[in-house]
Amino acid sequence: PAGYTAFSVDTIADYIADKPELMNRLGGDASQLKATEVGDGNLNLVFIVEGPDDTVIIKQALPYVRLVGESWPLPLKRSFFEYNALVRQAKACSVTARVPEIFLYDDAHALVAMEYLSHHIILRKGLIAGTIYPKIARDLGLFMAETLFRTSDLHMDAGEKKKDVALFSDNVELCDITESLVFTDPYHDAELNSWTTPQLDKLALGLRSDRDLKIAASQMKQRFVTHTEALVHGDLHSGSVMVNADDTRVIDPEFAFYGPMGFDVGALIANYFLSYFSQAGHEPEPGARNEYRAWILETIIETWDVFEERFRELWVNERTGVLYPRSIFEDQGDAIGAEEALNSFLKQLQEDTIGFAGAKMIRRLVGLAHVEDMQSIEDPDRRASCEAKALAMGRELLVDRAKFTGMKQLCELAKRIEST
């Protein structure tokens, strides 16, 4: 595209040298900047640029899907959506799990310059290593409740919300990726599908003749496409979270759009369950990671509990939007039906969360993009056994999403499947 160049470790320093807002931070001059490219995601370039005084991250969109190559073009405007989502998330949730500080957005070069989180690692890598993060459930439960509630019609001004829905509705190609890779491809003979061992053939091919599963996946796709509830991150897996023992940051919201709240909560929970079922592939002897398994399940339960508690508080204290107006639920100081309405809202949100979690698990096992939690298990038999259990869990979540009473019941199911 005109005006755009994809930078390399050799050219990024000259670009930065022209940007006072970055040079003032980094110190020195272009010759003193050291760049490395560390992007290991599916789509973009990520540079760490180190100067004499400080270090920054430059994330640049490529005009194609990095994972696949130039044969799959992808618009640069995803960088615009990422930047705008980061701004809104920073405003909606500034206290606990925050987004990184943004220093610069360059539309022409489709890049965002942001804070280098030198003391953090990607949550997925921490989960593979078996590291416990004591604050993560609270931080992410609050992050999701605040960002989702405060960008919804429960809170926002109706006009602002509609304008923002229109703005993000142009993130068509990234939504299309999700619509295809999450809700469609695993359930038919799609060219991009793959799984890593023939031991999974029967199960993976079986999805294509599973009537109830196809219907459930299509119903969740319908909710994804048609429910403009809140500004969702859109790709909130454990690779989109950076952590250490004290701090949690959410990164990479390039898939952001106005969609169903449960999509974010479900994505996170799906990735915890994928981690849970992958643990058998990472433990030196059977049972060595039992305590860690238990921590993952506790984390899932606590995440939902914190999310729900904060959502309930926001419902009471910040319900200023067009939905569930106080004018009809409060009569001369008496609340009539407000709590029942909230309970029913949360019940639907929980059902969505569980359904989306199921779909997100399945797509990471038999679709295009897999997860390192499973991929890094070297022994194919062990990997196949972990993946088969995760696949069984994903199916039950998707098909039976309305039957679960809560996260505890999900965790009981995970334990049952793990012990088979």
Would you tell me which residues interact with ligand SR1 (CB under 6 A)? Answer: 42-43, 65, 67, 177-178, 181, 235, 368-369
The binder of 139, among Mg ion, ligand SR1, none, by C-beta within 5 to 8 A per type, is none
Query: How far apart are the C-alpha atoms of 220 and 384, rounded to whole Å?
Result: 27
Can you tell me which of 13, 22, 41, 127 binds Mg ion, judged by CB under 5 A? 41
- List Cα–Cα distances, 259 to 164, 225, 255, 318, 330, in angstroms: 12, 7, 11, 20, 29
The binder of 65, among ligand SR1, Mg ion, none, by C-beta within 5 to 8 A per type, is ligand SR1
The binder of 158, among Mg ion, ligand SR1, none, by C-beta within 5 to 8 A per type, is none
Taking contact as CB under 5 A, which single stretch among the options 37-45, 296-304, 364-372, 392-400 is the one that binds Mg ion? Answer: 37-45
CB of 107 to ligand SR1, least distance (A): 22
Residue 190 vs 369, nearer CB to ligand SR1: 369
Tokens of 120: 């953090």
How many contiguous H segments (helices) and E segments (strands) does the chain have?
16, 14
Query: Does residue 260 bind Mg ion (CB under 5 A)?
Result: no
373 within 8 A of 274, measured Cβ to Cβ:
yes
- List Cα–Cα distances, 270 to 156, 378, 390, in angstroms: 29, 22, 9
CB of 346 to Mg ion, least distance (A): 28
Residue 275 vs 385, nearer CB to ligand SR1: 275
Query: Does residue 146 bind Mg ion (CB under 5 A)?
Result: no
Query: Does residue 139 bind Mg ion (CB under 5 A)?
Result: no
Residue 181 vs 297, nearer CB to ligand SR1: 181
Query: Does residue 252 bind Mg ion (CB under 5 A)?
Result: yes
Main-chain phi, psi angles of 398, to 5 degrees: -65, -50
Torsion of CA 126, 127, 131, 137, to 10 degrees: 100
Tokens of 103: 């220093």
CB of 43 to Mg ion, least distance (A): 6
Taking contact as CB under 5 A, which single stretch among the options 1-9, 38-46, 104-112, 341-349 is the one that binds Mg ion? Answer: 38-46
The binder of 164, among Mg ion, ligand SR1, none, by C-beta within 5 to 8 A per type, is none
- List Cα–Cα distances, 356 to 103, 340, 369, 391, 398, in angstroms: 34, 24, 16, 14, 7
CB of 166 to ligand SR1, least distance (A): 24
Query: How far apart are the C-alpha atoms of 321 and 151, rounded to whole Å?
Result: 10
- 218: helix, strand or coil: helix
46 within 8 A of 39, measured Cβ to Cβ:
yes
Neighbours of 191 (CB within 10 A): 7
Residue 41 vs 358, nearer CB to Mg ion: 41
Residue 357 vs 417, nearer CB to ligand SR1: 357
Q: Which of 89, 83, 124 has its CA nearest to residue 106? A: 83
CB of 367 to ligand SR1, least distance (A): 8
Neighbours of 68 (CB within 10 A): 14
CB of 44 to Mg ion, least distance (A): 8
Query: How far apart are the C-alpha atoms of 292 and 314, rounded to whole Å?
Result: 32
CB of 90 to Mg ion, least distance (A): 18
Closest residue by beta carbon to Mg ion: 252
Strands 34-37 and 55-61: unpaired
CB of 42 to Mg ion, least distance (A): 7
The binder of 181, among ligand SR1, Mg ion, none, by C-beta within 5 to 8 A per type, is ligand SR1
Residues lying near Mg ion in the complex (CB under 5 A): 41, 252
